Amino acid sequence: MRRLTLRRAPGRPLERWSARPVRLLAATAAATALALTASGCVTVHGELALMPPATKAEAAQALADFTSAYNRADKAYDPALVAGRVTGPLGEINQAGLRAGAVTSPGGNPNHQPLELTDARFVLPRKAGWPRWFLADTDANRDAAGSEDQRWILVFVRNGPQQLWEVAHLVILTPSEVPEFAEEDGYAVPVEADSDAFAVAPQDLGGQYAAFLKDGQPGPFAAGPHTTVWREQRQKAAKRPGLATQYLDQATNQGDFAPLGLRTKDGGALVFFATRFFERQTAAPGYRPKVDPGVKALLTGEVKNTVTKEWVSDQVALVKPAGTGRDAVTVTGRLQGVVGAQGS
Residue by residue, DSSP assigns 32-54 as HHHHHHHHT---BTTB-S-B-S-
DSSP-derived 3-state class of residue 318: strand
Note the pLDDT of residue 47.
63
Please check the confidence at residue 5 and state whether its pLDDT lies above 60.
no
Task: Report the pLDDT averaged over residues 42-59.
Answer: 78
Instruction: Give the whole-angstrom CA distance, residue 256 versus residue 164.
Output: 13
Please check the confidence at residue 35 and state whether its pLDDT lies above 90.
no
**pTM value?**
0.85
pLDDT band at 217 (very low <50, low <70, confident <90, very high): confident
The pLDDT > 90 percentage for the chain reads: 79
Note the pLDDT of residue 3.
36
Note the pLDDT of residue 260.
98
Contact 170, 137 (CB under 8 A): no
Instruction: Give the whole-angstrom CA distance, residue 342 versus residue 344.
Output: 7
Contact 121, 56 (CB under 8 A): no
User: Containing H/E element for 88?
Assistant: helix 88-104
Please check the confidence at residue 96 and state whether its pLDDT lies above 70.
yes
Note the pLDDT of residue 27.
35
The overall longest dimension of the chain from CA atoms, in Å, is 76
Note the pLDDT of residue 28.
34
User: Containing H/E element for 21?
Assistant: none
Q: How many CB atoms lie within 10 A of CB 211?
A: 15
Can you state the angle between helices 88-104 and 56-76, rounded to 10 degrees? 20
What's the sign of the alpha-carbon dihedral 282, 283, 287, 289?
Answer: negative
Please check the confidence at residue 194 and state whether its pLDDT lies above 60.
yes
- Amino acid identity of 141? N
User: Mind listing the pLDDT tens digit for each residue in 232-267?
Assistant: 999 998 988 899 999 999 999 999 999 999 999 999
